[in-house]
Amino acid sequence: MHVTDLLQLEALDLAVLWAEDDLLAREISGVTATDLADPSRFLQQGEIVLSGLVWWQDGDSRAKADRFVTALRTAGAPALLAGEETHGAVPDALVESCRAHGLALLAVPAHTSFRAITDAVYLRQWGDLSRRQDDHYALPGNVRTELSRLLAASAPLDALLDQALAHLGGPACSVVSATGRTVAVAASAAADARAAGPAGTGARTGLRVDAESSAYDAWYLRLPGGADQVPPRVLYEIADVVARHRQGRAGRDAVVRRRATELLAAIDATPAAGSDCDGESLVTPLRACGLPEQGPYRVISAVVGQRPDDATAALTEALRHLPGVRFAVGQLPDGGAAAVLHEPGAGEPDAVRRLADLWPALHACAPSRALYAGAGDPAATAADLHGSLVQARYALSAARLVRPSVEPDAAARLVTMADLTSLDALLAGIPADVRAVFSARTLGPLADESRAAHRVLLETLEAFLAHNASWARTAEAMHLHVNTVHYRVQRIEFLTGRDLSRLDHKLDLRAALICRPGR
């Protein structure tokens, strides 16, 4: 494995602060994590170094950084991976020192654990070992032969775990997803799996199986009794077997996603209910996705930043928590992700309600990324699916419109049509360029926020409207004299041409504030 291979793993989210191409091509032999100012005694040739930079204090001299970097360079470390959590960013002195001494420097964001990086390195190494001579293996030859046979036969993952652990007396072992969903369990661990907690309980613990998966659909090999039950080399080889099993499913999963994408394209192109369309054109793509020809259905749309694949993975992982709900997840023509659900029968809990409960655990997989979703209303027939998709897109727009500064949990929202009962939600469905024009024309000169005086007036306007046009409560909230509020409101009315004693003008200005670009 080489340094550049780590940068290809999106789940790690590493960033290069300084490096030259030849340094990124250096081979990695292992990993050392240290927070010593002088770690030279503990370093081995070819090991990358992980440091949380606890040894560094604000105001330390460049010489201290030089001593640390020199120790790494002398020991033959291919790169330094510096954590950003302690100081918020990697100190400039360390960046300059790495540049001066020719050591590749990568930044590790606060949401990426050092454990994930270590697992990524050693999983790749054990994967390489599995292709070498017999004396490099930890698993007995007869076990490896049987595991290869089971892999070739596409055996269930439970059977693979049982076979891999049988010669060790069958210690409890399971494979769980990033949100805590049990993917597979060895027979000896079945009782533990049945007693497992809700989604998110103990998630992202254990040995990561597939370092190249997204943060939302990663798998972890877990031994409830502790990893010391199994020799480390055996554990990594078992993880490699699980990863190969998953790779074998990748082709089938890709076909399923392609069929779902074709279904979504057909729904998007289908005229709305009430037209001449009766939904017959959707029967074939519904069958191809394993969905019944009769409803009720529902469409859910989701986004994760600018990562369509992550949105697909997140939505799929969430829906796999819902037994009895059949679904197909693919990508929309506009690049977003969406799922078509076949709702459970009468008496079953609403699927969207259960998804809303799962959403915090899903967002915890990558808390630095905004995760939004919108759900349309149930569609009784295939002909109604287009309407549910339109509603899901509208609800998604509403979810993305709420500012984190206004609502702390706004970075992880699932909005349904039942939630669309406010002016904010109504405006969410209007195109961004139309909102921007409306805001600029309604606010007039106040739309120019480059002037400090205008920013003050906009802040006052927001507070005035938020406190139901009460002079006294606005003054109290802003720590101003009430006469100052009167003066500012008069100035706002003059600049905008609106009368804040009139309800319709208040609504106009409230809508203009909501529609400001970037809000």
Q: How many CA atoms lie within 13 A of 392 on its CB side?
A: 29
**pLDDT score of 421:** 65
* pLDDT for the residue numbered 428: 67
Distance CA 414, CA 398 (A): 10
CATH number, span 270-428: 3.30.70
Q: Are 50 and 83 in contact (CB under 8 A)?
A: yes
Which two structure tokens, joined as six digits, stand for 340? 């078509």
DSSP string, 179-194: TS-EEEE-GGGHHHHH
Residue 235 near residue 139, CB atoms below 8 Å: no
CB 393 within 8 A of CB 301: yes
Q: Average of pLDDT values for 448-467?
A: 91
Q: Provide φ and ψ at 517, rounded to 5°.
A: -55, 135
Share of residues in the chain with pLDDT > 70 (%):
85
Q: What is the CA radius of gyration of the chain?
A: 28
Mean pLDDT computed over 400-410: 52
Q: Where are the alpha helices (DSSP H) in 130-231?
A: 141-152, 157-165, 190-194
User: Residues 412-423, buried b or exposed e (16+ Cβ, 10 A)?
Assistant: bbbbbbebbeee
The pLDDT of residue 341:
93
| pLDDT confidence of residue 419 | 73
Amino acid at 41: R
Higher pLDDT, 286 or 402: 286
pLDDT of 406 over the 50 cut: no
Q: What is the mean pLDDT of the chain?
A: 83
Confidence of residue 349 (pLDDT cuts 50, 70, 90): low
- State percent of the chain over pLDDT 90: 37
pLDDT digits (tens, 9 = 90+) for 92-105: 999 999 999 999 99
Lowest mean pLDDT among 54-58, 279-283, 453-457: 279-283
Which residues, at least 6 apart from 404, have a Cβ–Cβ distance to it below 8 Å?
Answer: 410, 411
Tens of pLDDT, residues 304-334: 876 778 899 999 999 999 988 999 999 998 8
Ranking 41-45, 221-225, 269-273 by mean pLDDT, the lowest is 269-273
Per the model's pLDDT, the better-predicted residue between 352 and 474 turns out to be 474
pLDDT exceeds 90 at position 484: yes
Q: How many residues can be counted in the chain?
A: 519
Q: Does domain 3-112 have CATH number 3.30.565.10?
A: no
Residue type, 450: S
The pTM assigned to this predicted structure is: 0.63
Task: Collect all residues with Cβ–Cβ distance below 8 Å to 179 and sequence separation of at least 6.
Answer: 199, 200, 203, 216, 317, 318, 321, 358, 361, 362, 364, 365
Residue 519: pLDDT band with limits 50, 70, 90: low
* Contact of 427 with 514, CB cutoff 8 Å: yes
Neighbours of 58 (CB within 10 A): 6
Average pLDDT over residues 115-131: 68
Which token pair is 120?
């990524």
For 432-514, give the CATH class.
Answer: mainly alpha
What pLDDT does residue 188 have? 62
Helix (H/G/I), strand (E/B), else coil: 30? strand
- Assess whether pLDDT exceeds 80 at residue 336: yes
**Residue boundaries of the structural domains of the chain:** 3-112, 135-248, 270-428, 432-514
Q: Are 468 and 478 in contact (CB under 8 A)?
A: no
Q: Give the pLDDT band (50/70/90) at residue 238.
A: confident
The pLDDT of residue 107: 94
Residue 475's pLDDT is 93
Task: Compute the distance between CA of residue 488 and CA of residue 507 in angstroms, rounded to an integer.
Answer: 18
- CA atoms of 175 and 160, how far apart (whole Å): 11
CA distance linking residue 423 with residue 509, whole number of Å: 12
Between β-strands 30-33 and 47-51, what pairing exists: parallel, antiparallel or unpaired? Answer: parallel
Helix 92-101 vs helix 62-75: crossing angle, to nearest 10: 40
Q: How confident is the model at residue 141 (pLDDT cuts 50, 70, 90)?
A: confident
